[in-house]
Amino acid sequence: MATAESLSLIKSADLIRREPLDYGGFGEVYLCYHKTLGKVVQKTVYTGPPRNRRQKQSLLDEGSLMSRLSHQRVVKLLGVILEDGDYSLVMELIPRGNLLTMLETVPVPVSVKGRIILEILEGMIYLTGNQVIHKDLKPENILLDKNFHIKIADLGLSTSPVWSKLTKEESRRQSSLGRRTSASAAGTLCYMAPEHLKSIKTRFSEKSDVYSFAIVVWVILSGHKPYENASCEEQICHCVCQGDRPDEDLISSDTPQDLIQLMKTCWKEEPCHRPTFKDSFESLLPFYEEKLAANVKVDLESLTRLYEGPEEMLEKLKSITPEDAPLCSRDSPGPLSSDIGPVEAGIEDLSFRTAEESLPDASVYKMLAQLPASSRTAGEPASVKSWTKPSTNPNPDRAEDLHRRPASSFDGLHRPELTSHLSMPNSDYNWLQHPHHPPYTRIKSCPDTASPDSGSRPVTISNASAIQIGNHNTINVQGSDNSSSSTGPINRTRNNELLLKYEEHKVTESHLEVVRQSVGRNWKQVARKLGLTDIDVDTIEHDYERDGLAEKVHQMLMCWRMKEGLLAITVGKLCRALEGYIEPFVFQQLLLKSQDAAGGP
């Protein structure tokens, strides 16, 4: 099982600039510029007297658990600050602010509302599958990224009792000093299930979050805050326990009944009568695909023109960015652009070579391509995969940096069987869990002892399927006794026959996994052939520049699936987009996946 990398301990001194943003139920919130992470969000949980060593270790342990919650619909914890007078969580920045602010600022098309509802369900399926009960699900805790995809925030109360306890201590301490504390509990009470308003002994469960989700759906559909006419918190509690719910008359008459019915089912009085998140997702997905998905692209374009994000946040984002902020420094995780050079799956140590230096000599590709099938390991492509790391070192006096940082966290809590149709499992995680290639050992080049002459010293690399070689190196690929259909000559006629036969078949996760492992640096060209716009491509490049090439390929495929809809992504479309950018044996592998799924010969 892949293990998550250890949680980063961040120094408050590394937060170069800081602007107050908000005060939430889990501490004060600041927009910050970190000298290596860039723009981040700091949640200051506790500013009181120092904690002892045992308490600090407990905070660190809980932070590690939070950081292992790694999903595209959940805000990522980047690190913690554990300093006297400053105990904070450092989170990724989600640029368009929270959902409630957008709903109150601009009209949101119904297709986008439908996608937001589905994505909330997707995130909650992941959390529930990992035994996480949110306990405070509300629009303020649902954030929007640049493409109006959602991320669920503020998991502190549900996953971190020690951090939560610190929050309460800080609240009491600030109150005793006559300073403001967290906002009124009324905001949270509106989303709390009636069984918890009736008795403080009732334990929270998934059905508690399902009720909160129903109220969130009402806010999304109506654009209002719930119970705006209530005079006090006690009235809200009393009326909800008596069966009152937010006013359905505030929902527009042209709102699809499928969304309204889902909402009403989820806010039923008895928890046992409410559906699970997974059931809700599965019931809503067909309607979304049939009625809403086709309009999302156009509606998002108009929404993007109307709404950039909260004005205050946009101004502060500009103010915290240093004018002389370096694009890349030796001690910072600069952009891992797929155009600069190949990158291993996950976040790795950076190569400061230029694109020209990073590319292997063309003769290496030619030599590998001309090798007979019998001289390659079973299942091994006669190509250099784009996710392998260059090992060239043209300067014999310069020591090669063999230090490798661990890849992004791939937590053991992840459960692929609970991942929904809208979200594909992290490709890096699957690569670590079920490697398709044997592990390889990087062997240092020796340009001072090897030359292009016939007397050059050969280099033998064993147990490897993905190697990038620099200039002046020779490799001898050992043969294998094993045989596989992929190592034989590629029958192009057979491929064409299979394509004609299976081109209308639906693309499955197994197809996408093959693409993730194969498309590499050509992902932008493939993305455009799949119908993604330059804006889509640039957004993926920007948003996931720190995550590496494999994650960009994953996000590209996810974006295509979201745009087309599950029923519209066919094997034919995928294969034609990949034509010219993958090896023939990979093309055949994709088609054989369809044949196997269909039970054909």
| pLDDT at residue 566, rounded to an integer | 59
**Cα angle 170, 15, 168; round to 5:** 10
| pLDDT at residue 348, rounded to an integer | 30
| pLDDT at residue 196, rounded to an integer | 94
Residue 351 CB coordination number (10 Å): 17
Long-range contacts of residues 526-531, Cβ cutoff 8 Å, at least 24 apart? 526/556, 526/577, 526/578, 526/581, 527/556, 527/559, 527/560, 529/576, 529/577, 529/578, 530/556, 530/560, 530/573, 530/574, 530/577, 531/560, 531/563, 531/564
Average pLDDT in the chain: 73
Residue 373: DSSP 8-state? G
| pLDDT at residue 306 greater than cutoff 80 | yes
Residue 56 CB coordination number (10 Å): 17
> Could you read off the pLDDT of 340-351 as tens digits, one per residue?
333 333 323 333
Radius of gyration (C-alpha) of the chain in whole angstroms: 27
> Could you read off the pLDDT of 111-120 as tens digits, one per residue?
999 999 999 9
- List beta partners, residue 584: none
| pLDDT at residue 508, rounded to an integer | 82
Active-site pick, 22, 136, 411, 547: 136
| pLDDT at residue 360, rounded to an integer | 41
Q: What is the mean pLDDT of residues 570-591?
A: 78
Structure tokens at 98: 């929270």
With pLDDT > 70 as the criterion, what percentage of the chain qualifies?
64
Pairing of strands 8-9, 77-83: parallel
Amino acid at residue number 566: L
Between 488 and 8, name the one with better pLDDT. Answer: 8
Per-residue pLDDT band at 252 (split at 50, 70, 90): very high
| pLDDT at residue 403, rounded to an integer | 39
Q: Does domain 99-156+181-315 have CATH number 3.10.20.30?
A: no
Per-residue pLDDT band at 470 (split at 50, 70, 90): low
| pLDDT at residue 67 greater than cutoff 50 | yes
- Grouping H, G, I as helix, E, B as strand and the rest as coil, residue 346 is coil
Between 385 and 586, name the one with better pLDDT. Answer: 586
At residue 214, φ and ψ (nearest 5 deg) are -60, -40
CATH of domain 8-94: 3.30.200.20
Per-residue pLDDT band at 244 (split at 50, 70, 90): very high
| pLDDT at residue 547, rounded to an integer | 80
Give the whole-angstrom CA distance, residue 36 versus residue 16.
10
pTM of the model: 0.56
Tell me the domain boundaries of the chain.
8-94, 99-156+181-315, 355-399+407-598
- Grouping H, G, I as helix, E, B as strand and the rest as coil, residue 476 is coil
Report for 35-44, 204-213, 560-569: range of highest mean pLDDT: 204-213
The DSSP-derived string for 478-528 is: PP-S---GGGS---HHHHHHHHHHHTTSBP-HHHHHHHHHH-GGGHHHHHH
> Could you read off the pLDDT of 411-448 as tens digits, one per residue?
444 444 444 444 444 443 343 334 444 444 444 444 44
At residue 375, φ and ψ (nearest 5 deg) are -95, 5
| pLDDT at residue 353, rounded to an integer | 38
Any catalytic annotation for residue 136? Answer: yes
Give the whole-angstrom CA distance, residue 238 versus residue 522.
60
**Cα angle 151, 154, 156; round to 5:** 135
| pLDDT at residue 567, rounded to an integer | 58
Residue whose C-alpha is closest to residue 348's, from 405, 427, 429: 405
| pLDDT at residue 62, rounded to an integer | 81
Contact 351, 341 (CB under 8 A): yes
Contact 470, 391 (CB under 8 A): yes
Residue whose pair of structure tokens reads 């990979």 in the numeric block: 586
Give the whole-angstrom CA distance, residue 326 versus residue 237.
53
Amino acid at residue number 6: S
Per-residue pLDDT band at 402 (split at 50, 70, 90): very low
| pLDDT at residue 339 greater than cutoff 50 | no
- Domain 355-399+407-598: which topology? Death Domain, Fas (1.10.533)
Q: What is the mean pLDDT of residues 187-195?
A: 88
| pLDDT at residue 194, rounded to an integer | 96
| pLDDT at residue 335 greater than cutoff 50 | no
Report for 234-238, 456-460, 492-496: range of highest mean pLDDT: 234-238
Per-residue pLDDT band at 199 (split at 50, 70, 90): very high
| pLDDT at residue 247 greater than cutoff 90 | yes
Report for 319-328, 369-378, 448-457: range of highest mean pLDDT: 319-328
| pLDDT at residue 100, rounded to an integer | 94
Report for 247-261, 406-420, 500-514, 587-601: range of highest mean pLDDT: 247-261
Amino acid at residue number 487: T
- Could you tell me what percentage of the chain is helix, strand and coil, using 3-state DSSP and rounding each to the nearest 5? 45, 10, 45
With pLDDT > 90 as the criterion, what percentage of the chain qualifies?
31
Between 379 and 73, name the one with better pLDDT. Answer: 73
| pLDDT at residue 106, rounded to an integer | 96
| pLDDT at residue 376, rounded to an integer | 41
> Could you read off the pLDDT of 267-277 as tens digits, one per residue?
999 999 999 99
Amino acid at residue number 81: I
| pLDDT at residue 562 greater than cutoff 50 | yes
> Could you read off the pLDDT of 277-289 as tens digits, one per residue?
999 999 999 999 9
Largest Cα–Cα distance in the chain? 91
